[in-house]
Structure formats: C-alpha cells, structure tokens
Amino acid sequence: MTKTLILPRALIACMAFVSGFCIMTIEMLGARILSPYFGGSLSVWGSIITIFMLSLSGGYLIGGKLSTRSPTMTKFGIIFLCAALLLAPLVYLSEMAMELIFLYVTDPRYGSLLASTVLFMVPTVFLGMISPYSVRLLIESVAKSGEVAGRLYFVSTLGSSLGTLATSFYLVLWFEINTILIFMTASLIVLSAIAIGSDKWSCR
C-alpha cells in the first residue's frame, strides 16, 4: 500500500467539496461580472455554461492523466495552489479585461463567450482536475474504485449545489464580488498548505 492511500480521507473529501463549491461560485459570479457589459440574456448564460463545461471536461481529462503518475498529496496541494493563483487575477484584472473586450466585441453573444474564456477557463481547468485526482488518492483496490468515485463525485457535486445556493441567495447580497473571490482564493491556498503539510507529516 502506498503512502497516498493512508492519508486522511476526510481531508481529501473536504478538498473535493471545496473545489465543487468554488466552481459553481465562480460560475455564478461570472454572470455578475459580465452583466454590466453584455447583459444577462440567455446567450450570455449559454456562453458562461459552455466555457465552464469545456474547462471542467479538460480538467477531468488532465487530472485523470496526472493521477496515474505517482499521485501524492503534495502534488494534489500544488493543483489547489495553481487554481488559487490563477483565480487571484480576477480580483484585480477582471474589470480591465472586460472593458478591453467590450471595446472590440460589443455583440453580447461573442463578447460574453470571449470574456468567459479569458477570465474563467484556466482556473476552472485546474479546479476540474481535483475530482479525478481525489478519486485516485482514495482508491485502495480496483473492486472498490466505482464506490470511491461515486462518493467523491457525490461530495463534489454537493459542494457545487451548496455553492450555487450560497452564492445566489446570500453571498452576493452580503459581500462584494472581489471579497468573495479573495475568500475563495485564500481557502484554496490554506487547503493547499494543509495537503502539502500532511504529505510531509506522513513521511516521518
């Protein structure tokens, strides 16, 4: 049994939950970021959802591939850290990026599609890598792989559901968009540090 298989299951499940929460929170905030420039029409939502689905599919593919190459909690933590670092620019650069895009593309269909790609694609790819990597860290035997995958995707999807409700019902009413993004970035960084630290601790 490798050391990746004896690491705390609760921590891995928590990280999968938080990644799901963050994914849907970013998606909901995306509509708020784009709406002052392109409105909130069905085509704008279609652009946002399309980019998020493409990004997640790419993340699942890459995360699954990486999980076959000696998976460890340190590498898992690095994925979280990369997601956090790629999410941080949204706090400071999203408004400037939106103004630049709107200057050249005023059609709400293509403008929102381009804006969603520029702002959300890369961090969402990294967040999408987390679920398949989580599954690999928890699998102890092929016989239980389906059960493990089911549990992890349940936890991740539960996080996505709560992220959707929390953001749309409360967070956007209580806090500014940048405040929410900063909190999510900080949460990802903290979990990254815990994951890397747990790997170092298990090696002792």
Mean pLDDT of 180-199: 90
When pLDDT is averaged across residues 161-182 and rounded to a whole number, the result is 92
CATH of domain 12-198: 1.20.1250
Q: Where are the domains of the chain?
A: 12-198
The mean pLDDT value of the chain amounts to: 88
pLDDT exceeds cutoff 70 at 1 = no
Name residue, tokens 């815990």: 194
Burial class (CB in 10 A: 0-12, 13-18, 19+), 85: middle
Encode pLDDT of 96-147 as tens digits.
899 999 988 888 899 999 999 999 999 999 999 999 999 888 887 676 777 8
pTM of the model: 0.89
Phi and psi, residue 124, nearest 5°: -70, -35
Sequence-ordered alpha helix ranges (H) in the chain: 9-38, 42-66, 73-87, 89-104, 108-128, 130-138, 145-166, 172-174, 177-202
Count of residues in the chain: 204
Tokens standing for residue 2 = 């490798």
Tokens of 159: 């996080």
At 73-106, the pLDDT tens digits run 889 999 999 999 999 888 888 888 999 999 888 8
